[in-house]
Amino acid sequence: MHRQIVDYALARRECLARVRTGRTALSQVCDADPYLLRAAKFHGKPTDEVCPVCRKEQVTVVSWVFGEHLGHIHGSARSAGEIEALDGSAGAFTVHVVEVCRTCRWNYLVQSYVAGLPEGAGRRRRRVAK
């Protein structure tokens, strides 16, 4: 039951354009930390999309769930199956979908949405500092 879907494709394209023209340093966008890289390895979902920066491998998407009522799951990366299970059982929570390249460490928030049962909806949305 995904809702309030926000797509960051346009911002991502603009960011990549800035990288290509040298206005943004690679080090600023290819900065996935070890925690994110590990999450990509263990909870990520492979895609067919080649990394827009290094073009050496396909990016992996990692979904992070946010909702204080989720307890220890709050702020952690979860697989698609786990999110589906939560969607049908937990109160409203926010999901941030981040694409990650495990070769050059490019990472970008590509989508966010609210899932879970409608009760308790309207929680404050968290933003990833980027």
Question: Can you give the binding site for Zn ion, defined by CB under 5 A?
Answer: 51, 53-54, 101, 103-104, 106
Measured CA to CA in angstroms, residue 46 lies from 50, 110, 115 at distances of 10, 15, 21
> At its nearest, how many Å lie between Zn ion and the CB of residue 108?
11
> At its nearest, how many Å lie between Zn ion and the CB of residue 126?
26
> At its nearest, how many Å lie between Zn ion and the CB of residue 25?
15
CA distance 117 to 98: 23
CA distance 104 to 106: 6
Using the minimum distance from each CB to Zn ion, give the nearer residue, 65 or 100: 100
> At its nearest, how many Å lie between Zn ion and the CB of residue 18?
16
Q: How many helices (H) and strands (E) does the chain have?
A: 4, 6
Measured CA to CA in angstroms, residue 83 lies from 4, 68, 73, 96, 105 at distances of 16, 15, 11, 11, 24
